[in-house]
Structure 1
Amino acid sequence: MDNPKNNPKLPTDSGEKAEPKVIQRWSAARKREIVLRFLRGESLDAVSREIGVEVYRLERWRDKALAALDAGLKERSDDDPLQAGLDAAHKRVGELSMEVELLRAKIGRLEAGTPFPRARSRR
Protein backbone atom coordinates (compact mmCIF):
# COMPACT_ATOMS: atom_id res chain seq x y z
CA MET A 1 0.00 0.00 0.00
CA ASP A 2 1.40 3.38 -1.01
CA ASN A 3 1.61 6.22 1.54
CA PRO A 4 -0.06 9.44 0.44
CA LYS A 5 2.40 12.34 0.46
CA ASN A 6 0.02 14.81 2.09
CA ASN A 7 -0.46 12.82 5.31
CA PRO A 8 1.90 14.33 7.93
CA LYS A 9 1.79 11.31 10.24
CA LEU A 10 3.28 8.94 7.66
CA PRO A 11 6.93 8.92 6.57
CA THR A 12 7.74 10.72 3.34
CA ASP A 13 9.57 9.27 0.36
CA SER A 14 12.86 10.92 1.35
CA GLY A 15 13.19 8.73 4.43
CA GLU A 16 12.73 11.48 7.01
CA LYS A 17 9.94 11.14 9.51
CA ALA A 18 7.34 13.86 9.62
CA GLU A 19 6.15 14.57 13.16
CA PRO A 20 2.43 14.93 13.75
CA LYS A 21 1.22 18.44 14.43
CA VAL A 22 0.60 18.92 18.14
CA ILE A 23 -2.61 20.77 18.86
CA GLN A 24 -2.45 22.25 22.32
CA ARG A 25 -5.35 23.97 24.06
CA TRP A 26 -4.60 26.80 26.45
CA SER A 27 -6.96 27.44 29.36
CA ALA A 28 -7.64 30.95 30.57
CA ALA A 29 -5.65 30.24 33.74
CA ARG A 30 -2.58 29.14 31.76
CA LYS A 31 -2.83 32.19 29.50
CA ARG A 32 -3.13 34.43 32.56
CA GLU A 33 0.05 32.97 34.05
CA ILE A 34 1.93 33.56 30.78
CA VAL A 35 0.71 37.17 30.53
CA LEU A 36 1.68 37.80 34.16
CA ARG A 37 5.19 36.66 33.31
CA PHE A 38 5.36 39.38 30.63
CA LEU A 39 4.08 41.99 33.05
CA ARG A 40 6.76 40.98 35.54
CA GLY A 41 9.40 41.69 32.90
CA GLU A 42 10.23 38.36 31.26
CA SER A 43 11.25 38.50 27.62
CA LEU A 44 8.54 37.74 25.07
CA ASP A 45 10.98 35.80 22.89
CA ALA A 46 12.28 33.70 25.76
CA VAL A 47 8.80 32.73 26.92
CA SER A 48 7.79 31.99 23.33
CA ARG A 49 10.70 29.58 22.88
CA GLU A 50 10.11 27.98 26.27
CA ILE A 51 6.43 27.16 25.80
CA GLY A 52 6.45 26.75 22.01
CA VAL A 53 3.86 29.38 21.14
CA GLU A 54 4.33 32.00 18.43
CA VAL A 55 5.21 35.54 19.50
CA TYR A 56 2.25 37.08 17.66
CA ARG A 57 -0.15 34.85 19.63
CA LEU A 58 1.47 35.80 22.93
CA GLU A 59 1.21 39.48 22.00
CA ARG A 60 -2.49 38.99 21.23
CA TRP A 61 -3.00 37.37 24.67
CA ARG A 62 -1.21 40.27 26.34
CA ASP A 63 -3.23 42.89 24.43
CA LYS A 64 -6.54 41.20 25.29
CA ALA A 65 -5.54 40.94 28.95
CA LEU A 66 -4.61 44.62 29.13
CA ALA A 67 -7.87 45.63 27.41
CA ALA A 68 -9.87 43.57 29.90
CA LEU A 69 -7.89 45.10 32.75
CA ASP A 70 -8.74 48.60 31.51
CA ALA A 71 -12.42 47.71 31.18
CA GLY A 72 -12.47 46.23 34.67
CA LEU A 73 -10.95 49.33 36.19
CA LYS A 74 -13.44 51.64 34.45
CA GLU A 75 -16.49 49.90 35.94
CA ARG A 76 -18.14 51.45 38.95
CA SER A 77 -19.59 49.43 41.78
CA ASP A 78 -23.35 49.37 42.43
CA ASP A 79 -23.03 51.19 45.75
CA ASP A 80 -21.02 54.10 44.30
CA PRO A 81 -22.78 57.36 45.34
CA LEU A 82 -21.36 59.21 42.34
CA GLN A 83 -22.87 56.67 39.94
CA ALA A 84 -26.21 56.79 41.79
CA GLY A 85 -26.30 60.58 41.41
CA LEU A 86 -25.40 60.30 37.76
CA ASP A 87 -28.18 57.75 37.16
CA ALA A 88 -30.71 60.02 38.89
CA ALA A 89 -29.58 62.96 36.73
CA HIS A 90 -29.98 60.89 33.54
CA LYS A 91 -33.49 59.91 34.62
CA ARG A 92 -34.46 63.53 35.32
CA VAL A 93 -33.04 64.69 31.97
CA GLY A 94 -35.17 62.06 30.24
CA GLU A 95 -38.31 63.22 32.06
CA LEU A 96 -37.63 66.87 31.23
CA SER A 97 -36.97 66.05 27.58
CA MET A 98 -40.32 64.28 27.34
CA GLU A 99 -42.09 67.19 29.01
CA VAL A 100 -40.49 69.70 26.61
CA GLU A 101 -41.54 67.59 23.63
CA LEU A 102 -45.17 67.47 24.82
CA LEU A 103 -45.25 71.21 25.55
CA ARG A 104 -43.85 72.03 22.10
CA ALA A 105 -46.54 69.90 20.50
CA LYS A 106 -49.20 71.72 22.56
CA ILE A 107 -47.80 75.14 21.60
CA GLY A 108 -47.75 74.11 17.94
CA ARG A 109 -51.44 73.14 18.08
CA LEU A 110 -52.39 76.39 19.86
CA GLU A 111 -50.50 78.54 17.34
CA ALA A 112 -51.99 76.65 14.40
CA GLY A 113 -55.47 76.94 15.80
CA THR A 114 -55.97 73.17 15.65
CA PRO A 115 -58.50 72.17 18.29
CA PHE A 116 -57.60 69.53 20.81
CA PRO A 117 -59.65 66.34 20.73
CA ARG A 118 -62.52 66.44 23.18
CA ALA A 119 -62.17 64.21 26.19
CA ARG A 120 -64.91 61.65 26.78
CA SER A 121 -67.24 62.09 29.65
CA ARG A 122 -66.43 59.80 32.55
CA ARG A 123 -70.08 59.22 33.41
Structure 2
Amino acid sequence: MDGHVVRRKSDKKWRPPFERPKGIVLLATPEGWRHSILDVKGAMICGRLPGVPADADPREAKTAAAAMVVGLAREFHEADVEVTWDPPTEPRSWTGHVTLAAEADTTPPDA
Protein backbone atom coordinates (compact mmCIF):
# COMPACT_ATOMS: atom_id res chain seq x y z
CA MET A 1 0.00 0.00 0.00
CA ASP A 2 1.05 3.59 -0.36
CA GLY A 3 0.90 4.48 3.36
CA HIS A 4 -2.65 5.87 3.33
CA VAL A 5 -5.04 4.53 5.89
CA VAL A 6 -8.53 3.94 4.60
CA ARG A 7 -11.24 3.99 7.24
CA ARG A 8 -14.58 2.42 6.67
CA LYS A 9 -17.55 4.61 7.47
CA SER A 10 -19.21 3.58 10.67
CA ASP A 11 -22.38 1.58 10.27
CA LYS A 12 -23.47 2.70 13.72
CA LYS A 13 -26.20 5.28 13.86
CA TRP A 14 -25.54 8.47 15.82
CA ARG A 15 -26.84 8.31 19.39
CA PRO A 16 -27.70 11.27 21.58
CA PRO A 17 -25.49 11.88 24.64
CA PHE A 18 -28.41 11.07 26.98
CA GLU A 19 -31.78 9.34 26.86
CA ARG A 20 -35.14 11.15 26.66
CA PRO A 21 -35.92 13.19 29.79
CA LYS A 22 -38.67 11.90 32.08
CA GLY A 23 -38.41 14.20 35.09
CA ILE A 24 -36.82 17.34 36.45
CA VAL A 25 -36.04 18.76 39.87
CA LEU A 26 -35.58 22.51 40.18
CA LEU A 27 -33.87 24.03 43.22
CA ALA A 28 -33.53 27.65 44.25
CA THR A 29 -30.12 28.25 45.84
CA PRO A 30 -28.45 31.48 46.95
CA GLU A 31 -26.01 31.10 44.02
CA GLY A 32 -28.76 30.56 41.43
CA TRP A 33 -31.30 28.08 40.13
CA ARG A 34 -30.09 24.46 39.80
CA HIS A 35 -31.68 21.58 37.92
CA SER A 36 -31.40 17.80 37.80
CA ILE A 37 -32.93 16.13 34.77
CA LEU A 38 -33.73 12.41 35.07
CA ASP A 39 -33.79 10.37 31.86
CA VAL A 40 -35.79 7.24 31.03
CA LYS A 41 -32.84 4.96 31.91
CA GLY A 42 -32.24 6.56 35.32
CA ALA A 43 -29.24 8.77 34.51
CA MET A 44 -29.18 12.38 35.68
CA ILE A 45 -27.94 15.57 34.08
CA CYS A 46 -27.36 18.33 36.62
CA GLY A 47 -26.38 21.95 36.33
CA ARG A 48 -27.21 25.59 36.67
CA LEU A 49 -30.31 26.95 34.93
CA PRO A 50 -28.87 29.37 32.37
CA GLY A 51 -30.19 32.88 31.95
CA VAL A 52 -32.26 32.99 35.14
CA PRO A 53 -31.01 35.22 37.97
CA ALA A 54 -30.87 33.85 41.52
CA ASP A 55 -33.59 36.26 42.66
CA ALA A 56 -36.02 35.33 39.85
CA ASP A 57 -39.59 34.41 40.65
CA PRO A 58 -40.19 30.62 40.80
CA ARG A 59 -42.70 30.86 37.92
CA GLU A 60 -39.99 32.39 35.72
CA ALA A 61 -37.51 29.67 36.71
CA LYS A 62 -40.05 26.85 36.12
CA THR A 63 -40.93 28.30 32.71
CA ALA A 64 -37.23 28.50 31.74
CA ALA A 65 -36.54 24.98 33.03
CA ALA A 66 -39.50 23.54 31.10
CA ALA A 67 -38.37 25.34 27.93
CA MET A 68 -34.87 23.92 28.37
CA VAL A 69 -36.19 20.34 28.71
CA VAL A 70 -38.54 20.76 25.73
CA GLY A 71 -35.63 22.07 23.64
CA LEU A 72 -33.31 19.23 24.66
CA ALA A 73 -35.94 16.58 23.85
CA ARG A 74 -36.63 18.15 20.47
CA GLU A 75 -32.96 18.66 19.54
CA PHE A 76 -31.58 15.29 20.66
CA HIS A 77 -34.61 12.99 20.38
CA GLU A 78 -36.90 14.67 17.84
CA ALA A 79 -39.63 14.35 20.48
CA ASP A 80 -42.24 16.86 21.58
CA VAL A 81 -42.57 16.77 25.35
CA GLU A 82 -44.47 18.63 28.03
CA VAL A 83 -43.47 19.37 31.61
CA THR A 84 -46.06 19.32 34.39
CA TRP A 85 -45.06 20.54 37.83
CA ASP A 86 -46.12 18.95 41.12
CA PRO A 87 -47.14 21.23 43.97
CA PRO A 88 -44.01 21.99 46.04
CA THR A 89 -43.45 19.66 49.00
CA GLU A 90 -40.33 21.47 50.22
CA PRO A 91 -39.51 25.17 50.21
CA ARG A 92 -37.53 26.33 47.18
CA SER A 93 -37.79 22.93 45.42
CA TRP A 94 -40.07 21.81 42.57
CA THR A 95 -40.47 18.47 40.80
CA GLY A 96 -41.71 18.15 37.23
CA HIS A 97 -42.78 15.19 35.11
CA VAL A 98 -41.79 15.07 31.45
CA THR A 99 -44.16 13.25 29.12
CA LEU A 100 -44.38 12.89 25.39
CA ALA A 101 -46.86 15.45 24.08
CA ALA A 102 -49.00 12.65 22.62
CA GLU A 103 -49.10 10.94 26.06
CA ALA A 104 -50.00 14.19 27.81
CA ASP A 105 -53.00 14.81 25.54
CA THR A 106 -55.66 12.44 26.83
CA THR A 107 -58.58 14.28 25.24
CA PRO A 108 -60.40 12.07 22.72
CA PRO A 109 -60.12 13.45 19.17
CA ASP A 110 -63.92 13.68 18.81
CA ALA A 111 -64.43 15.65 22.03
Please state which band the TM-score falls in when normalised by the shorter chain.
under 0.3
Q: Normalising by the residue count of structure 2, what TM-score does the alignment of the two structures yield?
A: 0.23
Compare CA radii of gyration and give the structure with the larger one.
1
Structure with greater strand share of residues: 2
Higher relative contact order (CA 8 A, sep 6+): 2
Q: Normalising by the residue count of structure 1, what TM-score does the alignment of the two structures yield?
A: 0.21
Structure with greater helix share of residues: 1
